[in-house]
Copies of this chain bind each other. A is one copy, B any other.
């Protein structure tokens, strides 16, 4: 028998831990080509929230099924294999599910070996050296193209991706402004992670005005993890030729109906600004190279890992919902 977390209800409004249920089920048996993976860590990624909605299937993933284990990226070890490509003991990361044991099927196209020989904990490959770091890097480097002295605005700055994006922006010589939801996080971002300023969007009053005060010359790069009204406030403050990386839309995931987009897209025209969607999924061939760069920054202490570690698969619902209630800091990982 093993434990798993299933999607019990499709979240309505703000996602709650009670949208999930813990189940104990028999260990699966393997068919030809399949691999049994003992999961060690679950990566808590806000983006997966999207596929919990009814009818959300798209070119990336199908919608999750009610009563089935929650899909997500895990790091584990091969326990048994009926596939010659995988040997017992081998460590891998894959898009599997919130379970103690998962079956990797031969059609899974999101499987990566855990890189061997790196002087760091495996779980970093789920965070700053994994998809999280890739999103931050590709968004900031490829889309942000920051020049020294430019201004970067980072939403969800205390979140897994935002805290890395902000630090990369700083490495590139930008003035880095974060947006976060409480003063404690804000202070930590400034004192420990090199942010120049952080706006608390819950207490700042009108966000457009608050951004304008901290960024009087406008924003050259906006890293968007949120969408909605926050994106609108950023667009109100664009500098000429600004770049926006759309990395997520947390404000939209929680809505049962599609929310209108920002009403000020015309500003993109007058500012010759660019808004680009970011989906690391399609850039897997670059991961090794990017991972080396991120590791070098970590090693030289220019980049700090920020992580919240939860214990036991039972904690996954609370860990995941914390992201949507703003009580997370850095990368959230569940250790099984």
Which of A262, A264, A271, A275 gathers most chain B CB within 10 Å?
A275
CB proximity of A281 to chain B, nearest CB, Å = 8
Known interface pairs A260-B260, A260-B261. Does A275 touch B266 (Cβ–Cβ under 8 Å)?
no
Size band of the interface chain A makes with B? 35 or more
User: Is B261 a contact partner of A262 (Cβ separation < 8 A)?
Assistant: yes
The contact string, 1 if C-beta is below 8 Å from chain B, for chain A 219-242, is 000000001000100000000100
Stretch of A2-10, A83-91, A160-168, A245-253 on the interface side: A245-253
A264 cross-chain contacts in B, Cβ below 8 A: 258, 261
A247 cross-chain contacts in B, Cβ below 8 A: 269
Q: Does A302 contact B (CB under 8 A)?
A: no
User: Is A263 a contact partner of B265 (Cβ separation < 8 A)?
Assistant: no
User: Is B269 a contact partner of A265 (Cβ separation < 8 A)?
Assistant: no
Expressed in whole angstroms, the Cα–Cα distance for A277 and B272 within the complex equals 4
CB proximity of A56 to chain B, nearest CB, Å = 10
Expressed in whole angstroms, the Cα–Cα distance for A60 and B272 within the complex equals 11
A266 cross-chain contacts in B, Cβ below 8 A: 50, 227, 249, 252
Assembly stoichiometry (copies): 2
CB proximity of A106 to chain B, nearest CB, Å = 24
CB proximity of A13 to chain B, nearest CB, Å = 17
The contact string, 1 if C-beta is below 8 Å from chain B, for chain A 53-97, is 000001110000000000000000000000000000000000000
- Since A259-B263, A274-B275 are in contact, a sample of 9 more A-B pairs with Cβ atoms closer than 8 Å, ordered by chain A residue number, is A227-B265, A231-B265, A248-B269, A249-B269, A252-B266, A260-B263, A265-B275, A274-B277, A275-B276
Closest 10 CB pairs of A and B: A261-B261, A260-B260, A268-B277, A269-B277, A258-B263, A274-B276, A261-B262, A275-B275, A261-B265, A272-B279
